[in-house]
């Protein structure tokens, strides 16, 4: 039963990490909704390593080309990653303690999911959406970088808020998503390395090595597929489907929280 649960959550991580619907919210809410156990630190480390590797594999060649060509975009991405790295290091434990471990966590997440969905919808419908990544400046990159730091707020969605910021700055939808993923790569690799270090320091866990391997593999494979699909999808479609899903989910979670109270 635990192996099936690991696979289900790994698939959820692989899908929601890259779509603008909040992976942390889904990973928190799924066990809460179905009253299933949290697999723990080892599993959390495994699936984040998997999706970090998905970014590295998918965009590795692009990063290498930027490095060889001494493309200023590479430096923009690295500099813009700093705000989220600093705030994540300083605030992650506080948010986990005072929000994720709070009985109000599902309510806060539900409200956050719906609220930022509305923000995404308004920006998607009103922004110019006529620029490419190659036109991005350091100032614009930093704006998206600071937006990425807002993903610490439960229910925000890292990809959702950075795509929203990119659209607001005039990027075409596909370019906004691509920049979001490029910006996510350094921070995801850093977070994956940090979680791996935690796992090595505290190896006691209730998961088998097979389940840990499955967590990495499934989240990696699903992640690569979702990145490719999402970038292709945005060439011809708006963000509306994700906005509608988030609002429905947010209202459902808020309603369920009040029902259980």
Between CA 89 and CA 109 the distance in angstroms is: 21
In a domain, 80, yes or no: yes
Q: Classify residue 137: in a domain, yes or no.
A: yes
Residue 94 lies in a domain: yes
Residue 110 clears pLDDT 80, i.e. is over it: yes
Structurally, the chain folds into a number of domains equal to 1
Identify the residue with better confidence: 159 or 205.
159
For the segment 190-194, the average pLDDT, to the nearest whole number, is 82
Interval 120-177: pLDDT, tens: 999 999 999 999 998 899 999 999 999 999 988 889 999 999 999 999 999 999 999 9
Q: Is the pTM of this model over 0.85?
A: yes
Asked whether the predicted pLDDT for residue 208 surpasses 90, the reply is no
Judge whether 20 lies within some domain. Answer: no
pLDDT value at position 158?
A: 95
DSSP bridge pairs for 131: 171
CB of 170 within 8 A of CB of 131? yes
In which domain, by residue range, is 251 found?
40-260
- Helix/strand/coil (H/E/C) assignment for every residue in 210-239: HHHHHHHHHHHHHHHHHHHHHHHHCCCCCC
At what angle are helices 105-126 and 158-168 packed, to 10 degrees?
A: 30
The confidence band for 97, taking pLDDT boundaries of 50, 70 and 90, is low
Residue 18, in any domain of the structure: no
> Is 27 inside a domain boundary?
no
How far, in Å, CA of 173 to CA of 133, rounded? 11
Whether 230 has a pLDDT exceeding 70, the answer reads yes
Q: Which pLDDT band holds residue 18 (cuts at 50, 70, 90)? A: very high
Residue 237 has pLDDT above 60, yes or no: yes
Question: Which range has highest mean pLDDT (38-47, 79-88, 98-107, 205-214)?
Answer: 79-88
Question: CA-to-CA distance for 39 and 206, rounded, in angstroms?
Answer: 8
**Cα(70)–Cα(67) distance, rounded to whole angstroms?**
5
What's the CA gap between 75 and 108, in Å, rounded? 35
Under 8 Å between Cβ of 112 and 155: yes
pLDDT at 87 over 90: no
Region 23-27: mean pLDDT is 92
Residue 21: inside a domain? no
Kindly report the length of the chain. Answer: 261
Domain membership flag for residue 24: no
What pLDDT sits at residue 261? 80
**Does the pLDDT of residue 204 top 60, yes or no?**
no
């Amino acid at each position: 039963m635990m192996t099936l649960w690991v696979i289900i959550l790994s698939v959820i991580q692989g899908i929601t990490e890259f779509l603008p619907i909040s992976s942390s919210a889904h990973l928190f809410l799924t066990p809460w909704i179905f009253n299933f156990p949290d697999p723990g630190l080892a599993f959390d480390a495994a699936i984040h390593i998997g999706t970090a590797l998905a970014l590295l594999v998918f965009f590795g060649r692009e990063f290498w080309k930027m490095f060889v060509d001494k493309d200023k975009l590479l430096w923009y991405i690295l500099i813009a990653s700093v705000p989220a790295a600093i705030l994540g290091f300083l605030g992650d434990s506080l948010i986990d303690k005072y929000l994720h471990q709070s009985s109000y966590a599902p309510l806060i997440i539900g409200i956050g999911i719906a609220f930022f969905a509305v923000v995404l919808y308004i920006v998607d419908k009103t922004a110019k959406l006529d620029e490419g990544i190659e036109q991005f400046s350091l100032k614009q990159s930093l704006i998206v970088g600071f937006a990425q730091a807002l993903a610490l707020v439960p229910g925000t969605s890292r990809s959702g808020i950075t795509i929203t910021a990119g659209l607001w700055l005039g990027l075409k939808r596909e370019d906004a998503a691509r920049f979001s993923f490029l910006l996510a790569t350094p921070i995801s690799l850093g977070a994956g390395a940090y979680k791996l270090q935690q796992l090595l320091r505290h190896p006691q866990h209730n998961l088998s090595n097979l389940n840990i391997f499955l967590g990495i593999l499934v989240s990696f494979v699903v992640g690569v597929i979702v990145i490719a699909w999402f970038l292709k999808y945005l060439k011809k479609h708006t963000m509306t489907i994700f906005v509608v899903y988030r609002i429905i989910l947010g209202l459902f979670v808020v309603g369920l929280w009040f029902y259980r109270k």
